[in-house]
Structure 1
Amino acid sequence: MTWNELKQKIIAEYNSKNLKSTTRYNAIDKVETLIKRYYPKTITEVKELSNIDKQYLKEQYIQQKKEISVEQKIA
């Protein structure tokens, strides 16, 4: 399964819940950016994500959010 296939399944699940906020949709895009940046191999083979430590992935995500925040303040 590719990342895009998984992403479409996640979006379909969110759509079925009639979410009022786009926060979860935005988070998918941010996770995708993280994956492309640090784990490009997982874009074509999602099962590679299971080899990544969940806590480490969370830490990278938090770091990425901080970097984006700084970039937005500078711009």
Structure 2
Amino acid sequence: MADHGYGVCNEPLITHQQASTLTGMYAGDEPVPDPQIPPVEIALLDPSRGCFLADVLFHFSDVVAEYKKAQG
């Protein structure tokens, strides 16, 4: 998994696409609907389009919590 660094809370950050994959939500659904820590809004370079696109980085603990909820 690509390392997008750590937030000010010293927690790993992952992209919307990575969070969707880890939680099993492959469509355009929101992978973490109620994060405990607000997502970080960024612009990521999309090499296929040659421009920056708006995206968010989710905190890893929120993705893990969402995964655990999905597992029951």
TM superposition score normalised by structure 1: 0.28
Higher relative contact order (Cα pairs below 8 Å, separated by 6+ residues): 1
TM superposition score normalised by structure 2: 0.29
Larger Rg: 1
